Structure formats: structure tokens, C-alpha cells
Amino acid sequence: MRNCISYEMIIRDAVEADLPAIVEIYNATVPTRMVTAELEPTSVEARLPWFLEHSPEQYPFWVAESDGRVIGWLDFKKFLPRCAYRGTAEISVYVDEEFRRRGVGQRLLEQAIARAPSLGITALVGLIFGHNEPSLKLFERLGFEHWAFFPAIAQLDGVERDLVVLGQHCPKRRSRGPGGRPFYARTTRDSPQVHGYSDSLSLMHALMEYRHEPIHSELLRIRDKYSMLHLDVLILIYHFAKICSGHILEIGAFVGGATIAAAFGVRDSGQNKKLIAIEPGGSVKHKRLGTRNILRDLERNLARQRVSEIVTLIKGRSFDAATIRAVHETLGPDKIGLLILDADAAKRRDIECYSDKLADNCWMVIDDYYGADSNTKITPSRADIDALVEAGWLEPLGFYGWSTWVGRWPGRAARDR
Ligand SMILES: C[S@@+](CC[C@H](N)C(=O)[O-])C[C@H]1O[C@@H](n2cnc3c(N)ncnc32)[C@H](O)[C@@H]1O
């Protein structure tokens, strides 16, 4: 297996000759007391049997290589020896200190998530110290949830440390914690507000991390050419499209800025998600992005960005019976895991049209929350959203860009609780 990830980095199966570099990267983390429970450095000889337990077909061992140098690695191993756990693999990711914060760990993890089903793996777990914030954030960003928490279980230089087990089904299933919240947190005395607060912080953090990655400049280019939305909003759309379970529905595609961001997220998820974009067409006079023929430009832009095949374009208005029928036919029995609303002010109408197809914890990106004179006038969009939040139908997670509301659809079960 040899997979080109970017111009500078490839991910490939590790060979025995890589072991010294693998061990060196591992040993560098031992004194930090952040990553491994090993307290002393190890050696190539000691690690050889462990290395040989891997096989490319079942429990692969991959290295990330740049300019001929091993800069990171990821391995799969049995989670527990009993047969019933054979579909579950534990993964570990290590990145050379010099190459951290460049998306190396993320690329390795993304590949692990994408390849897991073809390896016969139905769930991935990562065992991470509770104080290892960077790794926790990385796993969370890629859709891992908190499945278990072991308080004060490790002794590192006399300090008691917690262990968190993060997990993800492959392919991803609906979150088991209410609102996608950490599963273990339900057993604590945290309030729902505390969970929403920490989820909002996680989103902000994810956004910050994307600033160091190539997708940031890719989406900046898309924004400048094709979108009225703020770059941060496009990045979040990309992020949600990548991590969401379920398909994606966009209402009001215009010339494709947000559509392309979502399509890139689908592409990078490695999963077969459908992206449905509804747009009636027409012409728009806008100081930066005017067009005389929205649909013609939309189709041309999707083709230019090579995402036409990812997008199912439905030409019509969101609330027309024919449009609703076409969305249902495209989705079949499946649900929507990300809804992007950027059409007109009737947000409640659009949500009601498709509420029966929204998955629990469906991500929502809704534009036009604030108007230009937000201090004095509540926009109709905002009135709709506020009413739905008040009724418990929407869970707010933040405001981004110029006027975009971001949150979730908790689902009936969570609302009734
Ligand atoms: C503000 S633009 C969307 C901008 C786009 N999200 C972006 O990234 O730049 C709004 C679009 O919604 C479309 N629209 C208006 N009413 C609609 C409806 N009921 N259903 C679907 N699209 C609608 C308009 O034709 C227009 O292209």
C-alpha cells in the first residue's frame, strides 16, 4: 500500500528497516509523561516482536514519510484478546517532535478511519491520558467520542493521571451520548450547559487547528471565488461534512462556495456520503459575486473543482413538493447529518420541510442570524432560530463569521428527556 497524501508526505506500510526511526519517535515521548505509560526508553531489539505482530491485511503498521524520512507512525492492534472483540482495534499515533502541528497525525488517523472497514475493523479505540489535550482534541476532531474514563489509574512520577478511551464505530454510527456529548460525562454532575460549552470550545479549537493545514488556503481560494460566507464558516462546513454521520443537505447553493467546501469534506472523509444541494437559480447582483445565471455558474464551478460527482443538484425551491420528493428519493432510508441553510429568511419553514430526515445530533449551519443593524433589529432568520432554540429543537454552539449560527438538532429522544 502506497498512498500519496500530499506533495511532501506519503503514508506507506512500515518495513523492518523503519524500526529504528519508529523507536526513536516513540522514545522521544517517554520523558514528556504525556503520551505513553512506558516510563523508560525502549530499544529496537525489544520492539521487534511487537512490530512483527502487525500485518498489512489485518493490523497494519504505517509510517508517514517525508523526503525519505520517517516523521510519524500509526499502528493497529487487538483491543482485547477475546474473540468477541475481534472487530475492535486499538490505534496509536506518534509524530516526530519536529513535525507536530502540521497535520501528520491527522492524516494518519483519517486514513485509519477510512481504511478500517476494508480491514474488517468495526470500531477503533484510542487510549489517551486525560492530560494529553492535543491528542484528545485530535481524536475528537475526527469524530471519536469519549467511551470510557478511568480516573487516577496511572502513576507518572508520583502524579496520578486519568485515562480516557475514545472510540468510533466504522463506519460511524449515531452518537450514543445525548447531543454527541462525551459518554462518560453523563455520569458526572456536569449540566447540559457545561457540555454545550465544552462542545463550543472544541469547535473553536478545531477551527484554529485547520489554520495550520493546507485545506485552509484551499478554502480561502474557494471563498474568494465562489462564496458570500466567511472563511471560518466554510472551514466548519468542511469539518462537519468530514465528520458527520449521515448525508448532507444544503439549501441555497448559489454559485457553490459552501457546496464545494462540503464536497471537499466528503472527499476527505473517505466515506460515501451524499451531498444534496438545492438551488432554484436566477440571477444575483452582488458587489463581489454577481451572476446572471446562478445554475450555469454553479454547475461550472462544481466541475472546475472536480466535485460534480459528489453533489446531487436539485433545481428548485426548498419547499416545493417536487424538491422535497427528490430529496427523499436521493436519501432513501438514510438521514441527514449536516444541514446547511443559506436560502431566504424562512429558516423554520426549511427545517420543518426536512425535519423527518434529520439524524439526531445533525449539525446545522444557518446563515443570516444577525443583520447589519443587529443592535436594533432582530432578523426574521434570527427570530426563527431563537424560537426553535427556546423550544429545545435546536442546540446552539456558536456564531461564526459575519452572521452564521452553528449548532445541532438534538433529536426527539434528547428533547423528551
Ligand atoms: C446567499 S445565497 C447562498 C450563498 C452560498 N451559501 C455561498 O456559499 O456563497 C442564497 C441562495 O439561496 C437561493 N434560494 C433562495 N430561496 C431558496 C429556496 N427556497 N430554496 C433553495 N434555494 C433558495 C438563492 O437563489 C441564492 O442562490
- Ligand 1 atom with minimal separation from the 368 CA: 1
CA of 342 relative to ligand 1 center, distance in Å: 5
User: Ligand 1: distance of its center to the CA of 79 in Å?
Assistant: 47
Residue whose Cα lies nearest atom 26 of ligand 1: it is: 254
Q: Return the residue whose CA atom lies nearest to atom 22 of ligand 1.
A: 252
What is the distance in A from the centroid of ligand 1 to the CA of 3?
38
What is residue 209's predicted lDDT score, i.e. its pLDDT? 84
- Contacts of residues 228-231 at CB distance under 8 Å and 24 or more positions apart, as own/partner, are 228/254, 228/257, 228/286, 228/288, 228/289, 229/257, 229/258, 229/342, 229/367, 229/401, 229/404, 230/400, 230/401, 230/402, 230/404, 231/401
pLDDT tens digits, residue range 240-249?
999 888 999 9
Distance from residue 277's CA to the centre of ligand 1 (Å): 10
280 lines ligand 1 (CB under 6 A): yes
Q: How far is residue 5 from each of residues 62, 106, 140, 216, measured CA to CA in Å? A: 13, 11, 21, 16
For the Cβ of 343 lying below 6 angstroms from any atom of ligand 1, the answer is: yes
Answer for the pair 263, 222: CB distance below 8 angstroms, yes or no: no
Task: Give the DSSP letter string of 58-111.
Answer: TB-EEEEEETTEEEEEEEEEES-SSGGGTTEEEEEEEE-GGGTTSSHHHHHHHH
For residues 172-185, give the mean pLDDT: 45
Mean pLDDT, the chain, integer: 88
Q: Which residue has the higher pLDDT, 239 or 205?
A: 239
316 in contact with ligand 1, CB cutoff 6 A: no
Tell me, using a 6 A CB cutoff, whether residue 18 lines ligand 1.
no
Q: Give yes or no for residue 258 CB within 6 A of ligand 1.
A: yes
**Residue with CA closest to ligand 1 atom 17:** 343
Confidence of residue 267 (pLDDT cuts 50, 70, 90): very high
User: Is the confidence at residue 286, as pLDDT, over 60?
Assistant: yes
Q: Which atom of ligand 1 is nearest to the CA of 317?
A: 20
What is the 246 CA–ligand 1 centroid distance (Å)? 22
Residue 5 predicted with pLDDT over 50 = no
For 352, half-sphere exposure in the C-beta direction (CA atoms, 13 angstrom radius) is 9
The full set of domains in the chain, from first to last, is 2-173 (3.40.630.30), 209-416 (3.40.50.150)
C-alpha 255 to ligand 1 mean position (Å): 9
From CA 125, how far away is CA 264, in angstroms rounded?
26
Supply the pLDDT for residue 291. 92
* pLDDT given at position 391: 87
pLDDT value for 202: 79
Measured CA to CA, the distance from residue 201 to residue 136 in angstroms comes to 13
Q: According to the model, what pLDDT value does residue 198 have?
A: 67
1 or 331, higher pLDDT: 331
Strand pairing of 404-409 and 9-13? unpaired
Average pLDDT over residues 220-237: 96
CA 216 to centroid of ligand 1, rounded, Å: 24
Q: Distance of CA 19 to CAs 23, 38, 44, Å?
A: 6, 18, 6
CA of 97 to the centre of ligand 1 (A): 45
Is residue 347 within 6 Å of ligand 1 at its C-beta? no
Confidence grade of residue 122 (pLDDT, cut at 50, 70, 90): very high
pLDDT score at 252: 97
Q: Decide: 279 in ligand 1 pocket, CB within 6 A.
A: yes
DSSP H helices in 373-411: 380-390
Tell how far the Cα of 233 is from the centroid of ligand 1, in angstroms: 16
Compute the average pLDDT of residues 73-80. Answer: 96
pLDDT-derived band at 190, boundaries 50, 70, 90: very low
Pocket flag, ligand 1, residue 354 (CB < 6 Å): no
Q: What is the pLDDT of residue 187?
A: 34
In this prediction, what percent of the chain has a pLDDT beyond 70? 89
pLDDT tens per residue, range 132-157: 999 999 999 898 999 998 999 998 88
Q: How confident is the model at residue 189 (pLDDT cuts 50, 70, 90)?
A: very low
For the CA of 319, the closest atom of ligand 1 is: 19
- Each residue's pLDDT tens digit, 329-382: 999 999 999 999 999 999 999 999 999 999 988 999 999 998 766 555 678 899
What pTM, to 2 d.p., does this model score? 0.61
Segment of 154-163, 183-192, 206-215, 351-360 carrying the highest mean pLDDT: 351-360
